[in-house]
Chain A
Amino acid sequence: MNNIFSTVPIQHYIILSAVLFSIGVIGVLTRRNAIIIFMSVEIMLNSVNLLLAAFSTYHNDAAGQIFVFFIMAVAAAEVAVGLAIIVMIYRNINTVDINDLNRLKG
C-alpha cells in the first residue's frame, strides 16, 4: 500500500478535522440534551485524534499515534464518569435538559 500522502495533501486532512470539530461545536451549542452534548464532545475528540494520526503518518513519527492511544484511554474513562454523573442528575431532577440544571444559581 502506497503512502496516502502521495495523492491526498495534508491540507485536506486538516480541513476534514476542522469540519468535524465545528460540527461537534455546533452540537454542543444547539442541543439541550446532556447526552447529545456529550456525543458532540466525542466527535470533537475524534476529529483531533484523526489529525494527530494524520500528522504522525505524515512525519513518519510514532509519537502522534501514541498520543492518540492515550487520548482514547482518557476518553473511555471520561465517558464512564460523565455518564454516571448524567444518570445521577436524571435521578435527582428527572430530566437531562441542561436548561433545568440551574440550581447553582444564587
Chain B
Amino acid sequence: MLSSLFYFLAFVSIFFAFMVVVSKNPVHSVLYLILTFFTVAGHYLLLNAQFLALVHIVVYAGAIMVLFLFVIMLLNLNAEKEPINTNLMKFAGAIAGGSLMLVLIAVFSKINTLEPAHAANTQIGLIKNLGMVLYTEYILPFEIASILFLVSMIGAVILAKKNPHTS
C-alpha cells in the first residue's frame, strides 16, 4: 500500500515538474509548480516527517508561490509575450539535461548503501523531537537565519523601491 502510494506520488511529481518546464503560459507554470510542491509535501508525509511537510506547505505554497504569482501578474506576463528559444537551443538543452539524468541514475544505481536504521517506526520527524534538536544543537544557525531574513527583507525593499533619480 505504502509503496504504491510512493510510486503514484513520484510519477505525479515528475509529471507536474515536467509541465512546469514545458508550459507556454507562466501562470500555468506557477500553478503546476504549486501542485509539484504539494506532491513533495506528500513525500515528506510518507517519510514520517510531519514537521517538514507542514513547513513545506506553509513556506512554498503559502509564501513563495504567492510572491511568484504576484510578480507574474504585476509584470502582466502571458503566453503571447513569452520569449521562445530556437529549436536548436531547446534540443541542445534537453540533450544536456537528459545526459545529466542518465549519468546521475547510472552512478547512483551502482552505489552500495548501508542498511536502514533498525527503528521500524521512526519518530524523529515529529515536531516535538525535531524542535528539541533545533533549539539545543542548532540554536546558533537558527538565530543566524533570522539575521538572514532581516537582510533579505531590507534588500528586497530597497531593490524594488522606485529610484527617484531615474523616473
Chain A residues with CB under 8 Å of chain B are 1-8, 10-12, 14-16, 18-27, 29-33, 35-36, 38-40, 42-43, 46, 49-50, 53-54, 56-63, 65-66, 68-70, 72-81, 83-88, 90-92, 95-97, 99
Give how many B residues have a beta carbon under 8 Å from the other chain's beta carbons: 88
A-chain residues with CB within 8 Å of residue B162 when the two chains form the complex: 91
Cβ contact within 8 Å between A88 and B6 = no
Cβ contact within 8 Å between A11 and B113 = yes
Secondary structure at the A interface, as helix, strand, loop or mixed, is helix
Cβ contact within 8 Å between A88 and B124 = no
Cβ contact within 8 Å between B52 and A59 = no
Which of B51, B71, B96, B117 has the most CB atoms of chain A within a 10 A radius of its CB?
B71
Cβ contact within 8 Å between B122 and A73 = no
B-chain residues with CB within 8 Å of residue A46 when the two chains form the complex: 36-37, 40, 60
Cβ contact within 8 Å between B75 and A87 = yes
What is the minimal beta-carbon distance from B103 to any residue of chain A, in angstroms? 9
A23: contacting residue among B60, B97, B116, B138, CB under 8 A: B97
What is the minimal beta-carbon distance from B87 to any residue of chain A, in angstroms? 10
Cβ contact within 8 Å between A81 and B130 = no
What number of residue pairs across chains A and B have CB atoms under 8 A from each other?
248
Cβ contact within 8 Å between B43 and A50 = yes
From B114, which residue of chain A is reached at the shortest CB distance? Answer: A59
B83 is an interface residue with CB less than 8 A from chain A: yes
Residue interface bits B100-136, CB-to-A below 8 A is 1, else 0: 1100110011000110111111101100011001100
Cβ contact within 8 Å between A18 and B104 = yes
> Are A60 and B109 also in contact (CB < 8 A) when A33-B82, A36-B29 are?
no
Cβ contact within 8 Å between A33 and B119 = no
B-chain residues with CB within 8 Å of residue A77 when the two chains form the complex: 148-149, 151-152
Docked Cα-Cα span, A89 to B152, in Å, equals 18
- 9 more A-B contacts (CB under 8 A) besides A62-B124, A65-B49? A4-B48, A14-B109, A25-B100, A39-B33, A49-B40, A60-B118, A79-B64, A84-B155, A85-B159
